[in-house]
Chains A and B, each alone.
Chain A
């Protein structure tokens, strides 16, 4: 590991949550504008986290704090690996660990809503993880390596031309990871769903703030991996990430929540088959 990699890793540790918070702010403003509202200030997510940090409340269980901190460490580690140009597959596995810690934290609480949310979180992981894995495999196969640097320097032709069929899968993964309709099953930001805060019900105060920061870090990782599809330059990658973000917000605003049965039986198999067909195509080419 040279010094540049070390600096990039430190930048990832600091910048990823900040960028994730800004993405969350943009999300809330754009959502409000789509609904003909003015919306909160751009920095509102930072105020929310600051407020939660200063709240005094007893945790719902002794285990929760530990799980929350491990989830945060795992999410930030995924960012560090990606910023340092490391193995995308490793980044994917670390992030899966983070999601598991969130579910375990929710299971250790006492509220039935929290437990229901945690079960749905596991269902979501069951659905999006294979699709996400196949998408990463597609990118690695086309670019010739699993390193983020290798994928970003894959060549003049964007990877998108070689993997158009993973797009529905990536949109599905983004919807689930960003907790957006129609797949905001385990938790959502709006008060109009049947299970509102779901997996987050029992987390409160500082623990909840740390989970929010972990969520920001996750969003940065997922958007970055999506931007590999057009990695011909930094600007193009940013544009791809912004387009992906806008598509997700748009879908969130025009759709209602589906059931977990629909997710398990229809959405996940369909997008998985498409992504897998793309992978086969790359291998047979």
Chain B
């Protein structure tokens, strides 16, 4: 595998978007950056800018208002990109899925690569999801010329 392709797996920069979460999953996501979990070991940086990001981590349910923003953020990210839906709400809409203003999980709007269940999802599970997503990306890169 060439250096450029290898670099894509070794340097995933995160964009974290709170779509309508109760903040439980957001706290767990940000906990990954703390010394206890130290997500930077994998070269992961929380960039807060879609134009620099490789991995989009979305928490919470999608409703008609934030769906536009979610799609916009996804479109601004350079390819190849990964999307990780975190928490029960991000995966399916969770307990709010029947609410009149809720469209459902993140995959109703943008394609999701990895789902992280849990309410809230554990930091270990979120880190595992990023690594699993990178494994998927590695497979795609190895398959391409």
Contacts and interface: CB of A to CB of B under 8 A. Distances in A.
Interface in A168-221: 189, 191, 196-197, 200-205, 208
A272 B55 CA distance: 44
A55 interface: yes
A86 to B, nearest CB: 33
B75 to A, nearest CB: 11
Contacts of A203: 51
Interface residues of B, number: 26
Given A37-B35, A56-B79, A201-B49, A50 B6 contact: yes
Given A32-B38, A50-B11, A196-B48, A204 B43 contact: no
Interface of B: 3-8, 10-11, 13, 33, 35, 38, 40-43, 45-49, 51-52, 54, 78-79
A40 B8 contact: no
**Of residues A36, A40, A202, which shows the largest number of chain B Cβ atoms within 10 Å of its Cβ?**
A40
Nearest to A59: B51
Given A50-B11, A191-B48, A197-B47, 12 more contacts: A28-B40, A32-B38, A36-B35, A50-B3, A50-B6, A55-B54, A60-B51, A191-B33, A201-B49, A202-B51, A203-B51, A208-B52
B8 A54 contact: yes
Given A44-B43, A191-B46, A191-B47, A51 B8 contact: yes
Interface string A34-48: 011111110010111
**Of residues A39, A48, A202, A208, which shows the largest number of chain B Cβ atoms within 10 Å of its Cβ?**
A48
A56 B80 CA distance: 8
Contacts of B7: 46-51, 53-54
A57 B38 contact: no
Interface in A34-88: 35-41, 44, 46-51, 53-57, 60
Contacts, number: 84
B51 A32 contact: no
B54 A51 contact: yes
Q: Which A-B residue pairs are the 6 nearest by beta carbons?
A: A50-B7, A57-B78, A204-B51, A55-B78, A51-B11, A51-B7
B131 to A, nearest CB: 15
21 contacts: A36-B35, A40-B43, A44-B43, A46-B7, A47-B10, A49-B7, A50-B6, A50-B8, A50-B11, A51-B8, A51-B11, A54-B7, A54-B8, A55-B79, A60-B51, A189-B45, A191-B33, A196-B47, A197-B52, A201-B49, A204-B51
Contacts of A55: 54, 78-79
Interface residues of A, number: 33
A45 B52 CA distance: 14
A50 B4 contact: yes
B43 A41 contact: yes
Nearest to A109: B51
Contacts of A47: 6-7, 10-11, 43
Contacts of A32: 38, 40
A283 B5 CA distance: 56
Nearest to A43: B10
Given A47-B7, A57-B51, A204 B40 contact: no
A149 to B, nearest CB: 36
Contacts of A189: 45
A40 B45 CA distance: 10
A204 B11 contact: no
